[in-house]
Amino acid sequence: MVIHVQGVGKKFPDGKGERWVIDDVSFKIEPHQATVIRGPSGVGKTTLLKLIAGLIRPDKGEITVHLKDSSVPTSLNLLKAGELLRFRRDHVGFVYQFFNLVPTLTVQENVLLPLALTKREHLRERALDRLQQLGLSALLNAFPAQLSGGEQQRAAIARAVAHEPQFLFADEPTGNLDGGNSAEVFKLLWDEHERLGTNLVVATHSDDVSAYVARTIQLT
Amino acid sequence: MIALLVNLVLALFAITVVHVTNHTLVHEFAEGQPQSAYHYIVPFTDNHESSYFTFRERWRAGDLPEIVGVVPVIEGNLEIAGRAIPLIGIDLISDLHASFDLGDTQPQTATQLVTQDSVVAFGNDLANTSFPNHIKVLELHSGEQSLLLADIATAQNLLGRMGEIDAAWLRNNHEPAWGWLEHVFPGITSGFGFTLPELSLADFDIKPMAVWQPTQAFAGSIAFNMGLLGLLAVLVSGFIVYESTVRSIERRTQEFNRLQTIGVSVLQIRSVLILEATALVLFSVLIAAILAFVFLQHSDLISKVPKATFLVATSKGLVLGLSTALIGVILAFTREVRKLAWIVLVFGVVLAVAMLCFGIWMTTTLVGAYLAVLALCVLHIVVLTPTIMRFLDALVSRIIPKSLISRINVRAMWQHLKQAKFAVVAFSLAIATAIGITLMVGSLRTDFFELLDARLPPGVQVREASSVDPAIIRQWAGVEEVREYFRGEGNLSIGKTDVIATSLDEFEARRYGYEYETDRVGVYVNEKIASQLQVQVGDELELKLPDLTPINLPIIHIFKSYGDVSRVVLLPKNQVPASLLVRDRVLLIVHPDSFADVERKLQETYPSATVLNHREIRERAVQIFNRTFALTYLIALIAVVVAVIGLFNAALAMQSAKSSEYRLLNTLGFSRLALFRQSFTQSLLLGVVCCSLSVPLGIGIAWLLCELVNPRAFHWTINLHVAPMTLGYPLLLGMSAAAVASVLPWFFISNNPK
Ligand SMILES: Nc1ncnc2c1ncn2[C@@H]1O[C@H](COP(=O)(O)OP(=O)(O)OP(=O)(O)O)[C@@H](O)[C@H]1O
Ligand SMILES: [Mg+2]
């Protein structure tokens, strides 16, 4: 449950040449820690989250994660494509700013999708209870398009944690929500982090999150 | 902008290619023979030059004002490498205005033919033949049938028949009123049922040029099919141009709103858009023309790209592209036009039903048949498709697959289908037309082959058999049966008919597909007579022989004769005075072992007669038919490809929504392969729905083509066979096309997940 980022860099094609968006970033996130990544727009917050979630690979440096039930740390750099995919599927929950739900599935089906993919059907009852606690019980059979922005983000959190992953990542999860909804979303993320004992990493501009997190990584 | 340009270019490309291919092939069918420029033939029974001169004098004196060109002809066979090859000699200078279709022949060839005593050879199978020294071959052309063409003097010489002329070919000035339409939609007018007026001149027998020739006989039908498909390609292309214009304007709504808030009027925006669209269409026409030209040059669809036709095709694309794009620009701002009021809808449905009933039952005209086809398509679009869609909607919301992945697939497919409604309708129309036409041609093929099997039992046919003595042949070893056919001409209330007299016994009944009954005496008529006289089996046929002997006999059988352009009556031999008829044909049934012997003996004994082997006649007919059959498939393919562009457009438009979904699924642990599989499954489902929508309409169109259009245009009937194999081809085509069209955008998205 430890994330160790050592000298990581990522470059993207930029016009004719290439540009290092992230260059030589290092940090370590301890078990059960809640962390916020901050920085001005375009600095590479999303890119960093994607790197540690195994969605993209670094161009230099190494990212290692230490999973709960394994004795040795795993280097994400060394995983094959399929293994990285399984790491992401089994151990990561991800909340984006928008479009977190499959539009052709109902709220309930969306939440059950990670369980089907990870074959963790035994978590079904808990996942459905969580939906109730999040005040979505009336919307179980609604399709995402019928939900408000706040409801969508709550459902997204329920989906992200349904399979009880060890890492919970959120990229501007409150970017398009008003103050009240925004604070509520952070609280929910925090609650789930507490209850499941996951690592929580949030990238955001918002200050609402400060009340909860222990540690800030500032990108410049 | 790029997407719009690509669509325009593709649509215009399709129009050009289909038009040029159609025009060239139709032309090839219609004019593959030297006589195709002529409409009538006047045989001279005494084969003497003087008959021709008499005829020509009377024509020059002003008899037969309809005729604008006359050419004398001699026909015969030359023995070359052990085979009898037909030779036609025509006087190339007596009708200089005729456009002899000599393939790619240069103008100077005609002069060389006259001055150098040489021949032009046609026929793929003559390519490796060594010609005897006295026959100088000037040029060799490809062709289905072997044929030699020479100047009349050369031919008379080669045949050893100096001073003889067999016939004159006459050219009519008759150009049907819809002739111009042929340039716009090549092939389509073959279905308009054009018949030549009957001409008569005392002492001469003027007949329409109607050689028994499968190429000629089916040319009309096939050309018409290609015309229909070409029309469809144009419609669908127009639809695509319209849709993509409207969609590209919709995408810029925000920009226009902003312009409007700073005081730019709708009129100004519209004029700018019109200018833009015009420039874009002009540019696309240019690119499409270049692409089409390169494509046609390098594909083996046609051997040479005719410049004039290509220009016509390009202008057609230009006119269509401009008009539909401009309609798109104008309608884009008045979106309500698209929503039909239900009153209009009901009115449309009632009108369509009325048109269908009228076309089928209340009229026997060809226009009625086309109205019925049109009405069927309208009903498909406004009634059947929405009903099936509603039914499917209920089904999809009720059926919940157990696996969540399948749920996504079914619902995504359904969403796709609803959003791409217009494209789906256009696509299903294209598939339905392809199904209709392939089924019709497939059925015609089945019927035609059955007819060939019955009509051409294993044996030998002797034509121009007046000198043949059956009594002698009957003695030859291996000859099992000898049958005689006497030919003459008669008059029906509607005009002339060919009359064939023979013994209408069990053997002949089998050849003509009649269930023989010993004690029934009567005549057989072909379908052309039945349809023009509106008679049925059991009705009495009133026929007058040349000496005005009336013959009144019941019709006991109506037979199919796909090859015949003329009316034909089959009479029992004993009902006709022998003096009125000449022995025209003799048919021999020969034991397989003695075939070669008998054939050789026939050639030796009767050198002036033409000996034809049934097997060879059949093979040639089958070969030609199969070629046209393959062409139908090809043209169907082109039509479907055009429709696919529409579907592809629709799929592309949904790309942005899809890309977010793919990003999400990728985060959840779907691999690229899994995403592709999912996208593919959805596309396949879409294909299944589209194709199932088009099957009923396709069969309906096939039925109308067989039951109404063919009998009314060509006076023959076709029994509709819905063979799974024939149905399978367009369906498979449609399925794969739909799948490709909706999977392709996936590559754009997956390579660039947001
Ligand atoms: N796939 C990509 N290809 C090219 N450039 C990219 C790609 N992804 C990100 N970038 C570039 O990398 C830089 C960092 O992007 P990133 O999305 O990580 O920033 P961010 O800190 O999340 O910004 P914001 O606060 O606006 O979300 C940007 O300049 C962006 O243009
Ligand atoms: Mg970001």
End-to-end CA distance of chain A: 26
Residues B67 and B147 occupy one common structural domain:
yes
Q: B516 with B617: CB under 8 angstroms?
A: no
Same domain, B47 and B169: yes
Q: How far apart are alpha carbons B713 and B192 in whole angstroms?
A: 6
B623 and B747 in one domain?
Answer: yes
pLDDT at residue B727, rounded to an integer: 84
pLDDT score of A188 more than 70? yes
Nearest to B138 by CA among B150, B125, B153: B150
Closest residue by CA, ligand 1 atom 16: A44
Which of the residues A102, A105, A141, A167 would you substitute to probe the B interface, choosing the one with the greatest number of B C-beta atoms within 10 Å? A102
Q: Which of B37, B15, B7, B158 is nearest to B649 (CA)?
A: B7
Domain-terminating residue out of B608, B638, B664: B608
Nearest-5° Cα angle at B604, B599 to B609: 75
Residue B464 token pair: 């121009």
Residue range A2-218, CATH number: 3.40.50.300
Question: Does residue B227 sit within a domain?
Answer: no
- Pair (B537, B655) in one structural domain: no
Contacts of B281 (CB under 8 A, 6+ apart): B8, B241, B318, B321, B322, B325
Backbone angles phi, psi at A25, to 5 degrees: -100, 135
Q: Cβ–Cβ contacts within 10 Å for residue A202, how many? A: 28
**In terms of Cα–Cα distance, which of B124, B119, B118, B117 is closest to B141?**
B124
Nearest to A86 among B415, B663, B669 (CB): B669
DSSP 8-state assignment for residue B125? G
Beta strands in B331-421 (DSSP E): none
Closest by Cβ to B669, choosing from A88, A101, A102: A88
Token digits for B289? 């023309």
Alpha-carbon radius of gyration of chain B:
31
Q: Give per-residue pLDDT as tens, A45-87.
A: 999 999 999 989 999 999 999 888 888 888 998 998 889 899 9
pLDDT of residue B104: 45
Strands lying side by side in the sheet with B167-172 = B136-141, B118-122, B147-151, B83-90, B67-80, B167-172, B40-43, B207-208
Whether residue B574 sits in one domain with residue B508: yes
Q: Which backbone phi and psi does B157 adopt, to 5 degrees? A: -60, -55
Would you state the torsion angle of the CA atoms of residues B704, B705, B709, B710, taken in this order, to the nearest 10 degrees?
-130
As a whole number of angstroms, the distance between CA B124 and CA A173 comes to 75
Q: Which domain holds residue B435?
A: 400-455+619-754
DSSP code for B391: H
Which residue among B552, B576, B608 closes a domain? Answer: B608
**In the prediction, which pLDDT does B215 show?**
45
Q: Do B651 and B701 reside in the same domain of the chain?
A: yes
Rounded Cα–Cα distance for residues B197 and B734 (Å): 44
Identify the sign of the CA torsion A31, A33, A37, A38: negative
**B665–A102 C-beta distance less than 8 A:** yes
What are the backbone angles phi and psi of residue B137, rounded to the nearest 5°? -95, 120
What distance in Å separates the CA atoms of residue B309 and residue B356, rounded to the nearest whole number? Answer: 35
φ/ψ (deg, to 5) at B548: 70, 10
Mean pLDDT by 10 residues, chain B (754 residues): 74 80 69 67 85 90 85 84 80 66 53 75 76 80 75 87 87 70 72 68 78 50 68 72 75 79 82 87 91 83 77 87 84 60 79 86 78 86 84 84 86 80 78 85 87 87 82 88 87 86 90 87 90 89 82 91 79 82 85 84 81 83 73 70 71 70 86 82 80 88 87 82 84 80 68 46
Tell me, yes or no, whether B477 and B430 share the same domain: no
Task: Determine how β-strand B167-172 pairs with β-strand B40-43.
Answer: antiparallel
Task: Name the residue among A86, A30, A25 with its Cα closest to residue A201.
Answer: A30
Going from N- to C-terminal start, the domains of chain A cover 2-218
pLDDT at A143: 93
A39 CA closest ligand 1 atom index: 21
Is B667 in Cβ contact with A104 (below 8 Å)? no
| B214-250 helix and B253-261 helix, angle to the nearest 10 degrees | 50
CA A143 to ligand 2 centroid distance, Å: 26
CA of A50 to the centre of ligand 1 (A): 11
User: Which residues pair with residue B524 across a beta bridge?
Assistant: B557, B570
ipTM over 0.95: no
What H or E segment, with its residue span, contains residue B503?
Answer: none
Site to substitute for ligand 1 among A43, A59, A97, A171, most atoms within 8 A of C-beta: A43
Angstrom distances, CA of residue B419 to CA of B8, B398, B412: 21, 20, 11
Q: In the listed set B111, B144, B173, which residue is the last one of a domain according to the structure?
A: B173
Q: Are B538 and B419 part of one and the same domain?
A: no
Alpha-carbon radius of gyration of chain A: 17
pLDDT at A47: 92
Q: What is the CB neighbour count within 10 angstroms for residue B300?
A: 6
Residue bearing the CA closest to ligand 1, atom 18: A44
The whole-angstrom separation of Cα B154 and Cα B168 is: 17
| Residue B134 resides in a domain | yes
- Ligand 1 atom showing the smallest separation from residue A172 Cα: 27
Are B193 and B153 in contact, with CB atoms under 8 Å apart? no
Residues B426 and B492 in one domain: no
Query: What is the domain count for chain B?
Result: 3
> In whole angstroms, how far apart are CA B495 and each of A84, B501, B543, B559, B569?
86, 19, 10, 19, 13
Q: How far apart are CA B543 and CA B499, in angstroms?
A: 10
B694 within domain boundaries? yes
- B404: nearest CB among A81, A98, A105: A105
Establish if B529 belongs to a structural domain.
Answer: yes
Q: List, in sequence order, every residue forming a beta bridge with B469; answer none if it has no partner.
A: none
Helix (H) or strand (E) holding B689: helix B672-704
Is B525 a domain residue? yes
DSSP secondary-structure letter at B539? S
